[in-house]
Amino acid sequence: MRKALRPRAGLMSPWLLASLLLIAAPAYCKTPAAPARAPAAQPAAAHPPGTAIASAHSLSTQAGLEIVRQGGNAFDAAIAVSSTLSVVEPISSGIGGGGFFLLHDAKTGRDVFLDARETAPAAATPAAYLDAKGELNRDRATNGPWSAGIPGLPAALVHLAQKYGKLPLKTSLAPAIRIAREGFEVYPRLEKGYGSRREVMERYRGTREVFLADGSPPKAGEILKQPDLARTLELLAAKGYDGFYRGDVGAKLLAAVKEEGGQWKPEELSGYKVVEREPLRLKYRGWDIVTAPPPSSGGVAMAEILQILEGWDISKLDPAHRTHIIAEAMRRAYRDRTIYLGDPDFVKMPLARLTSRDYAAGLRATIHPEKATPSDLLSGQPAPLEDDETTHFSIIDAQGNRVSATQTVNLLYGSGMVAPGTGVLLNNEMDDFALRPGTPNAFGVMGFAANAPEPGKRMLSSMTPSFLESKDKVIAVGAPGGSRIITQVMLAVLAYDAGLAPQQVAAQPRIHHQWMPDAISAEAGALDADTVAKLQAMGHKVNAGESTWGNLQTVMWDKAANTLSGGTDPRNPVGQADVLSSRP
């Protein structure tokens, strides 16, 4: 089978070529981060020559570098980047939401997965989300107080400062506080997203106070100020955990949820805890990959996909067979995601089996080299699309510390509900639970018992912040995009393995398959017409030329050349990768 799929060696795959051409096209041109270059060191350098940060907004990237200039490390910078994103990207993430922070502490050599995922309030039973006919009440699942889990992000910022940072929390939060108070320029994505969530957002007094402060919705080019959010961040800076989860802000959050008909118990808010988990580790063709364990599905799915793919030298496959094999691997991993995965503190999962090479070999053996496997033939229940909001940032500092963090309020502007007087926009992460078994959520994702809501449980996520390490390279990478996060990160592994630079990795056209719907999704430029025709002849449904998705942010330390560089997704015009050299 492997032989039959092998084309002549030495030809660059047209898919790769397309990626490279696309990067050269003006529409996709962004200024890649200038590498901070030190004289080539042999053997590999012990420390990076500065700090590299890639994030979805230039203000958050610069906030991180500002903190490094003040003597902060990657973890202090992560607090600055994260909190600034919460201010300038309310569409994607915020202190009313949650996230995952993958950390590498250079001093101890330890990798930690900091889980700041939201938790379910006890009132959020499956029955609470059903309408009179027993159908899923979609409005309740995605809008307003019932859609919100207990926020995790503020606790993560406090934890990062206390345990890993060098600077006081107050210092690292200062840029976000300043930008919340002085305002920032609204960009088109924010305006457009507001338009699509306007009806929901304007239901809530607190939201109107922030977004209609001057009488009309935010418009690109205008300055958006968030004085209440500045004050909430100041309380967090001054009082730490208690500044958000208890006291004035905590009381206002509880009152707002109650006023809008929701039910959070005070102890659910005041008792929220981040969890430090062991990251999931896997190997792929000479790369050591450190990535997200449950309650993310990302690491498990990526382990399955990459270990299935190891049966081929996929760089040598022609585009149609390459896409076929990758899609078949994705299909199988997403089936397992739907059935088995959930919060490890609540469900038993066959993780050792799902991530083993033997299991991957078994799945590989079910892939026909020339024919698509209809998803219906794989046992289990179906699981389709999510949308692409959320945000990711990647940092490597001069000591070799690393952060790869993905944070979210889930859908555009989360629940749409700001708690009056706090500036805190609550998430709508409850929709990531399987609120009604087998019923798709807003974006078609479904699940079963493993991901049913229970008091205090974390909803299954696809967020996949990751580190990749080879003999010469250290990389931090991740992306938003709902269920398409996992395949974006997995394609980034393949691209780095093929020798692409970070900016090329961020720009490369994407494909995706998630078992259900049973179709390959492809961005424009990912598959040419001939490849699509060949895939169709194998039995694949191909949705070629879908609108783009994702917003990948990555940084790389090339140890052999001792350079730092970054890649920011050109699909998002306000992102920025930048490098601060520590050597004048």
Q: Which residues are catalytic?
A: 390
Complex with ligand DON: residue 111 or 387, whichever CB lies closer:
387
137 annotated as a binding-site residue: no
Distances (CA, A) of 388 to 32, 92, 245, 349: 23, 9, 29, 27
500 lies in the site for ligand DON, by CB under 6 A: no
Q: Which residue is associated with the tokens 């930690």?
A: 112
| Binding-site member from 112, 290, 463, 506 for ligand DON (CB under 6 A) | 463
Work out whether 291 is an interface residue with ligand DON (CB under 6 A): no
323 part of the interface to ligand DON, by CB under 6 A:
no
Nearer Cβ to ligand DON, position 45 or 409?
A: 409
Residue 230 forms beta bridges with which residues?
none
Position 386 contacts ligand DON (CB under 6 A) = yes
Dihedral sign, Cα of residue 3, residue 9, residue 14, residue 15:
positive
DSSP assignment string, 243-312: HHHSHHHHHHHHHHHHHTT----HHHHHT---EEEPPEEEEETTEEEEEPPTTBSHHHHHHHHHHHHTTS
Which listed residue (90, 482, 525, 570) binds ligand DON by CB under 6 A? 482
The nearest distance, CB 115 to ligand DON, in angstroms, is 12
With residue 408 as reference, give the H or E element that holds it.
strand 402-408
Q: Does the protein bind ligand DON through residue 120 (CB under 6 A)?
A: no
Residues in a beta bridge with 52: 396, 579
Whether residue 547 is annotated as binding a ligand: the answer is no
Which of 480, 567, 570, 575 binds ligand DON (CB under 6 A)? It is 480
Rounded Cα gap, residues 94 and 77, in angstroms: 16
397 binds ligand DON (CB under 6 A): no
The verdict on whether residue 409 carries a ligand-binding annotation is yes
Residue 425, CB-side half-sphere exposure with 13 Å CA sphere: 31
What is the C-alpha to C-alpha distance for residues 440 and 461, in angstroms, rounded to an integer?
15
Binding flag, residue 546, ligand DON (CB under 6 A): no
246 in a labelled binding site:
no
Q: How many other CB atoms are found less than 10 A from the CB of residue 431? A: 27
Q: Which residues between 206 and 245 bind ligand DON (CB under 6 A)?
A: none
Q: Does 435 bind ligand DON (CB under 6 A)?
A: no
- Minimum gap (Å) between residue 388 Cβ and ligand DON: 5
The nearest distance, CB 327 to ligand DON, in angstroms, is: 21
- Judged by CB under 6 A, the chain residues 124 through 183 that form the site for ligand DON are none
Scanning 72-80, 334-342, 460-468, 560-568 for contacts with ligand DON by CB under 6 A, the matching segment is 460-468
- Nearer to ligand DON (CB atom), residue 15 or residue 129: 129
Which of 86, 338, 401, 462 touches ligand DON by CB under 6 A?
Answer: 462
Q: How far is the CB of 93 from ligand DON (least distance, A)?
A: 9
- If one asks whether residue 389 binds ligand DON (CB under 6 A), the answer comes out as yes
Q: Which is nearer to ligand DON, 291 or 408 (CB)?
A: 408
**N- to C-terminal Cα distance for the chain?**
55
Q: Which stretch binds ligand DON (CB under 6 A): 23-31, 202-210, 246-254, 406-414?
A: 406-414
Residue 388 engages ligand DON in binding (rule: CB under 6 A): yes
Q: Is 432 annotated as a binding residue?
A: yes
Residues contacting residue 402 through CB under 8 Å, at least 6 positions apart? 74, 102, 103, 104, 106, 394, 395, 396, 467, 474, 476
Instruction: Decide if 48 contacts 558 (C-beta within 8 A).
Output: no
DSSP state of 44: -
410 carries a ligand binding annotation:
yes
Q: What are phi and psi of 321, to 5 degrees?
A: -70, -35
Helix axes 227-239, 247-259, angle to 10 degrees: 130
SS (H, E, C) 84-133: HHHHHCCCCCCCCCEEEEEEEECCCCEEEEEEECCECCCCCCHHHHECCC
Binding-site member from 410, 441, 503, 554 for ligand DON (CB under 6 A): 410
Question: Distance between CA atoms of 391 and 550, rounded to whole angstroms?
Answer: 9
Q: Does 553 bind ligand DON (CB under 6 A)?
A: no
- Angle (nearest 5°) at CA 504 between 503 and 510: 120
Residue from 105, 304, 432, 523 in contact with ligand DON (CB under 6 A): 432
> Does 89 interact with ligand DON (rule: CB under 6 A)?
no
The pair of three-digit structure tokens given for residue 310, joined into one six-digit string: 């190891």
Residue from 323, 461, 562, 568 touching ligand DON (CB under 6 A): that is 461
CB closer to ligand DON out of 171 and 408: 408
Would you tell me which residues interact with ligand DON (CB under 6 A)?
386-390, 408, 410-411, 429, 432, 461-463, 480-482, 485
Q: What residue numbers does the annotated binding site cover?
A: 117, 408-410, 432, 461-462, 482
Q: What residue numbers does the annotated binding site for L-glutamate cover?
A: 117, 408-410, 432, 461-462, 482
